[in-house]
Amino acid sequence: MQAYSIGELSRLVHRHGGRPVGSFRWLPLDCISYPANSELFEKKNSEEINKKSEIPIPEIITLQAPHALFMDCTHDNEMPAQKRTVEDTLPTAALVSFCSCATGTTFGYDECYPELLDVVNETRQYSYGTGIGIVKKQLNDIRVDLANQSVDDMEANEMHVHHEGQFITVHRTNAKTGRGYFLIARTKFSPDGDQTMAPITLHGTQVKNDFAYSLAKSSLQPEETITLTKTDKKILPVHVELTKLEPFEIDYDEKTQSSTINLPEYFPQGSIAVLSTFVKNCDDELHDFLRSGALEAAQTLNLIDINAILYKCESEERDASAGLDGCYDIPNYGHLVYAGIQGFISVLRDVIMNNDLAHPISNHLRDGTWALDFIPRRLDKYAKNSEAIKEFQAWLESRFDAVKKVPYFLVPRYFALTVSIAYEALRFQALSLMSPRIQDSTVFVQSLAMCSVQMVGLMNSASIDPFTTIPSMAAGLPHFSYDFMRCWGRDVFISVRGLLLATNRFEEAKQHILRFAMTLKHGLIPNLLGSGKEPRYNARDAVWFFLQCIQDYVHLVPDGESILDEKVKRRFPLDDTYF
């Protein structure tokens, strides 16, 4: 009753009503460490925790305002008959009851009392049985139904509020079941004359009528007009008539799976209509489907495969696609840093945490399914040479095909969920291929270890061998990532210990040592390798780090001394002549 206008009432309902429809659900991603070895994973997975994916870590609580005790009228508010009109009692009560928070009222509101009760000095008898009690029970039944659907997940309650003149509509849904209720309330702050509302279209939603009522003040003779004095023995309510209205006409388009609600000619101020809604293809089965199978699909991937799926900066992606593909471009935002899933995760991280449904990526996902097509399609070029990538690509395609069937306004949430699940699975698989110390270490150490996956990959234009294509370490992303500028002796051998030896990538470390050793000339190791075809010897300290790297390899790798027995075919065995 404190709202001074219809717009203010709409704002209060929006503020206290619950999370917006299509809100993002936060997954821990890489903000919490978790065991990546099978034994500890199975032990952790058997614990009873409220996990949201296949990774055994609990759900993260995100920042949101505490729920309010939202009252339609308190003991010190004026009654609608005093402040607005008695007819506004019904729409205001309905709007409050649709909010996903604790609600309350004061005696006399539902009974349509003409004035505020004096809770201290009141001596008169109350009267019962009139007003909006019948409708209030039906509204409370809806609250109970929605609450029962959300016993284990209160964040599943979502709503959308729309204000148009005298009309306020509220769509309250359950994100997990797809079921909900749609309220059309026509307020009466004052007799504002006639207004109409255009037909309402709910996309991807099936709708059916529940009930509709109108509250109107009775036509009384002048001598019967109610006036209260302190000498009256009983409090009499305002005489009102509660009329049940005819069901609304609903048109359902099977092709677009959209419902259009047509308001009748007679829907006066002080009226409400409640309709049941159901969003097809959006239920617990979809949630379970999207959250399952990712770990299994990723279990045969190696670290080079994960580099292709998760990372690849602009120049790396151009190199792999002969210049056809690059990083994804989001309108009004710009190009992502990586063409792989990490590019989307880097943007979605803050978007999900802040539930930013107005972010350019959220708008872009509502506008179309281009991103859902891009992620699996870009893997075609990598899947040609890797059955493991092809298997993970199939998982992505099946999940995104399911997401494409949900209404457009829910696509951002399910896209973010699918990408997050994929990221978790890829990160878990990458860590499981590294040393046991990293598998069970802190999130900081695990994040550092992922840099190993980020910096070492397979390139068409660059290698550490002049005759065969071998995964190579980039000196830096994005500028030192392709062609002859990718591998630098100083950068590689400073980094080998942290990126390859500490992560148990011993074979990659060995290959980098041996391939650079092939180019040894005049006691120098090339600073710019150029795939071993056009090495440049412009750094005397490169050989120092090369020798230190060999020493680290011998000390840290099991049977590391064996590298000293390896035969190396030198590119310059005699002089500057290239062999």
495 belongs to a structural domain:
yes
302: Cβ–Cβ under 8 A, 6 or more apart, which residues?
A: 388, 433
419 shares a domain with 561: no
Rounded distance, CA 185 to CA 95, Å?
Answer: 7
What's the confidence (pLDDT) of residue 149? 82
pLDDT in tens, the chain (579 residues): 678 899 999 999 998 888 899 988 777 667 776 777 666 656 555 555 556 677 766 666 666 677 788 888 888 888 888 888 999 999 999 999 999 888 999 888 888 888 888 777 777 787 777 789 999 999 999 999 988 887 666 667 889 999 999 999 999 998 888 899 999 999 999 887 788 899 999 998 999 999 999 999 887 534 444 555 555 666 777 888 899 999 999 999 988 889 999 999 899 999 999 999 999 888 888 888 998 899 999 999 999 999 999 999 999 999 989 888 899 999 999 999 999 999 999 999 889 888 899 999 999 999 999 999 999 999 999 999 999 999 999 999 999 999 999 999 999 999 999 999 999 999 999 999 999 899 888 889 999 999 999 999 999 888 888 888 999 999 988 888 888 889 998 999 999 999 999 999 999 999 999 999 998 888 889 988 888 888 898 888 999 999 999 999 999 999 999 999 999 988 887 766 665
511 belongs to a structural domain:
yes
Instruction: Pull the structure tokens for residue 130.
Output: 């009139």
Residue 517 sits at φ, ψ, to 5 deg, of -60, -30
289 shares a domain with 259: no
Closest by CA position to 180, among listed 221, 135, 153, 210 = 210
Q: At what angle do helices 542-556 and 506-517 cross, to 10 degrees?
A: 140
Query: Which letter does DSSP use for residue 55 in this model?
Result: S
What's the confidence (pLDDT) of residue 4? 84
513 shares a domain with 418: no
Residues 389 and 301: beta-carbon distance below 8 Å: yes
478 shares a domain with 421: no
Q: Which domain holds residue 440?
A: 284-444
Beta bridge partners of 163: 168
Q: How many C-beta atoms surround the C-beta of residue 501 within 10 A? A: 22
DSSP class per residue in 429-494: HHHHTS-HHHHTS-HHHHHHHHHHHHHEE--SS--SSSSS---EE-SBTTTBSSGGGS-BHHHHHH
517 shares a domain with 369: no
526 belongs to a structural domain:
yes
Does residue 182 sit in helix, strand or coil? strand
37 belongs to a structural domain:
no
363 shares a domain with 305: yes
Long-range CB contact pairs, 5-13, < 8 A, 24+: 5/189, 6/163, 6/165, 6/166, 6/168, 6/187, 6/189, 7/163, 9/92, 9/95, 9/168, 9/187, 10/161, 10/162, 10/163, 10/168, 12/70, 13/95, 13/96, 13/98, 13/99, 13/161, 13/168, 13/170
- Longest CA span, the chain: 123
Rounded distance, CA 159 to CA 151, Å?
Answer: 17
Of the three residues 399, 421, 444, the one that is the final residue of a domain is: 444
191 shares a domain with 107: yes
452 belongs to a structural domain:
no
Q: For residue 415, give the amino acid letter.
A: F
510 belongs to a structural domain:
yes
230 shares a domain with 112: yes
Beta bridge partners of 215: 242
39 belongs to a structural domain:
no
258 shares a domain with 121: yes
289 shares a domain with 145: no
Of the three residues 393, 414, 444, the one that is the final residue of a domain is: 444
33 belongs to a structural domain:
no
What's the confidence (pLDDT) of residue 191? 82
Ramachandran quadrant class, 576 (left: phi over 0; alpha: psi -120 to 50; beta: rest) = alpha
Of the three residues 216, 249, 279, the one that is the final residue of a domain is: 279
Rounded distance, CA 491 to CA 9, Å?
Answer: 62
Rounded distance, CA 432 to CA 170, Å?
Answer: 47
387 shares a domain with 497: no
- Count: domains in the chain: 3
561 shares a domain with 435: no
State the residue for tokens 């939603």. Answer: 205
